[in-house]
Amino acid sequence: MKELMQVITSLPELRKIRSHLAEPVGLVPTMGYLHEGHLSLIRKARQECASVIVSIFVNPTQFAPNEDLRRYPRDLAHDLQLLKQERVDIVWNPSPEIMYPTGYQTWVTVEELTQTLEGKMRPTHFRGVTTVVSKLFNATQPQRAYFGQKDAQQALVVRRMTQDLNFPIEIIVCPTQREADGLAMSSRNVYLNPAERQAATVLSRALFRAQGAYEQGERNAQTLRDLMLSVLKTEPLANVQYVSCAKIEDLREWEGKIQGTALLSLAVFVGQTHLIDNVVVGGSL
Ligand code: PAF
C-alpha cells in the first residue's frame, strides 16, 4: 500500500523524507488556493513521475508593496483535500521564516527576459519568483518541475534560470486551463464581482481574435496588436496595461512581419484586479 500524503513544514524533515522518495520526482510549485489549472499540472506530474511534491507558499517577495499579498486568497484545508484526491506524496508548506530567515539578503535574478511585459509593469516580481523557485528546487531536488502556460513569461524566466544555474531539472509547461467562457483560470479571479467577471472574458476574446487572424495568414505584428486592442476597447471595465506580440526567444516585440514563434499576450486591470493571458502562435513554449 502506498503511504498517505505527508504535509511537511520543517526543512530537515523534508530532506529526510525526500531522500527516500522514488524517482523521478516531480515538483508543482504553487501559492495555494488551488484550481483546475493547478490540478492539471499535478495530474501531468502524477502521470510522468514516480513521486509528486506540491509546494504551497504564498511568496511575499514576488508581491510589490502596493500589490495584494495580504488579501491573496488562502484555503489550506481545501487545498489539502484536493491534493489527497490527486495522490500527491508530499506537500511542502514552509513558513515565511523558513524561506526568508532574519537578515535575508540573497537573490536570484534573470537579467534580460525580465525587462519586458510583466517585468516592466512589476520590476521586482520576477526576482522574487526566481529566488523562491530556486529555493524550492534546492529543498525538494526534483527531476521535473511543472508550470502553467498562463504565466508564460514566468515559465520562460524559470527555464532560463534552470539552464543558467545548471539545475538538473526539466521544466515542463502545461496548457492554460480555461472556464467555459474562455477566461483563463487564476486564483485572482475570485476578486472579480459579477460584472467584472463578465467583463474579464474580453482578455481571451482579444487573444482568440488575433490568433484567428494569424491562422488566416495575418503575419504583421502591429496588426495583431491592434486587433487585440480593438477588442479590449469594447469593454468599459477593462483598463489595458499592455498588448504584445513578442519573439518567444527574448520577449522583445516583433516589428513588421512575424518570422518565427510569437507570444501574443496582454495585461488588463478589470476593476482593481490585474489579469494576464496569452496564446502562442507559430510554435510552442
Ligand atoms: O505561479 C505561481 O503560483 C508562483 O509564481 C510560483 C511559481 C509558485 C512561485 O511563487
* 32 and 75 together in one domain: yes
Residue 6: pLDDT above 70? yes
Residue 107 CB partners (closer than 8 Å, separation 6+) = 127, 131
* 26 and 118 together in one domain: yes
* 162 and 192 together in one domain: no
Task: With beta carbons less than 8 A apart as the criterion, state whether 21 and 105 touch.
Answer: no
**Across 22-36, 59-73, 95-109, least confident range:** 59-73
Cβ(185) – ligand 1 distance below 6 Å: no
Residue 1: pLDDT above 50? no
Q: Is residue 1 part of a domain?
A: no
Assessment of whether the complete model's pTM goes beyond 0.75: yes
Choosing from 119, 144, 174, the residue where a domain stops is: 174
The pLDDT assigned to 2 comes to: 58
Q: What is the mean pLDDT of residues 21-44?
A: 98
Q: Is residue 133 part of a domain?
A: yes
* 48 and 131 together in one domain: yes
Q: Is residue 199 part of a domain?
A: yes
Which tens digits make up the pLDDT trace of 159-183? 999 999 999 999 999 999 999 999 9
Q: Which atom belonging to ligand 1 lies closest to the Cα atom of 31?
A: 3
CA quadruple 182, 180, 175, 38: dihedral sign? positive
CATH code of the domain in which 276 resides: 3.30.1300.10
Q: Is residue 181 part of a domain?
A: no
Question: Domain of 204?
Answer: 187-281
* 127 and 50 together in one domain: yes
Task: With beta carbons less than 8 A apart as the criterion, state whether 210 and 227 touch.
Answer: yes
- pLDDT band of residue 3 (cuts 50, 70, 90) is low
* 193 and 108 together in one domain: no
The pLDDT assigned to 164 comes to: 98
Task: With beta carbons less than 8 A apart as the criterion, state whether 247 and 268 touch.
Answer: no
Distance 93 CA to ligand 1 centre (A): 13
Strand order in the sheet with 273-281: 238-247, 262-270, 273-281
Q: What is the mean pLDDT of residues 84-102?
A: 98
The pLDDT assigned to 139 comes to: 98
The pLDDT assigned to 68 comes to: 83
Place of cell 508581491: 63
Which tens digits make up the pLDDT trace of 209-257? 999 999 999 999 999 999 999 999 999 999 999 999 999 999 999 999 9
* 164 and 191 together in one domain: no
* 110 and 157 together in one domain: yes
- pLDDT band of residue 44 (cuts 50, 70, 90) is very high
Q: Residues of the chain with pLDDT > 70: what percent? A: 99
Residue 24: pLDDT above 60? yes
Distance 109 CA to ligand 1 centre (A): 15
Q: Is residue 180 part of a domain?
A: no
* 164 and 210 together in one domain: no
- Please identify every residue annotated as catalytic: 38
* 157 and 195 together in one domain: no
Residue nearest to atom 7 of ligand 1 (CA): 29
Q: Is residue 35 part of a domain?
A: yes
* Number of domains forming the structure of the chain: 2
Distance 31 CA to ligand 1 centre (A): 6
Cα(18)–Cα(136) distance, integer angstroms: 13
Which tens digits make up the pLDDT trace of 115-159? 999 999 999 999 999 999 999 999 999 999 999 999 999 999 999
